[in-house]
């Protein structure tokens, strides 16, 4: 019994498809190697540049994000650093956890995936002091 493998030809019509496939595979591999790092106990005056400089001593930093309050725009005291290499990220976590920045000992560890949230924020009837069985 022979097994036939279907192969895409390298004709001009299929080249864009092959390029897209290669791009997607490359992108997926890069995401697997990324290290997303949680940085907590930041002072409210901490900047993305200060964090980037601190982490770049241990490897390539792809992105820095300080979390701010939606309403006030004020820093919330934590953020995330994304490093392109998993090993460099691990070394940065080991070297920087507990290190001081602006007089505060940082809490640094691997970020956990964001959990799905339930609805929660909508309008609820009969909440807040109204009587359930009002006759009037």
Helices (H), ranges, 34-130:
48-56, 86-96
CATH architecture of 52-113: 2-Layer Sandwich (3.30)
List, for the chain, all residue ranges whose pLDDT scores fall below the cut of 70: 1-32, 118-136
Q: By three-state DSSP, how is residue 36 classified? A: strand
pTM greater than the 0.85 cutoff: no
Could you tell me the residue ranges of all domains in the chain?
52-113
Q: What is the pLDDT of residues 92-127, one digit of tens each?
A: 999 999 999 999 999 999 998 877 776 656 655 555
Of 102, 103, 105, 46, nearest to 75 by C-alpha is 46
């Amino acid at each position: 019994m022979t097994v036939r493998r279907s192969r895409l030809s390298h004709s001009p019509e299929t080249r864009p498809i092959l390029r897209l496939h290669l791009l997607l595979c490359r992108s997926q591999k890069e995401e697997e190697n990324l290290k997303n790092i949680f940085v907590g106990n930041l002072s409210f005056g901490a900047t993305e540049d200060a964090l980037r400089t601190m982490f770049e001593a241990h490897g390539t930093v792809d992105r820095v994000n300080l979390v701010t309050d939606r309403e006030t725009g004020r820093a919330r005291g934590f953020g995330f650093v994304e490093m392109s290499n998993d090993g460099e990220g691990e070394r940065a976590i080991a070297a920087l956890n507990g290190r001081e920045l602006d007089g505060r000992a940082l809490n640094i560890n691997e970020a956990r995936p964001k959990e799905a949230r339930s609805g929660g924020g909508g309008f609820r009837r009969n909440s807040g002091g109204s009587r359930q069985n009002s006759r009037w």
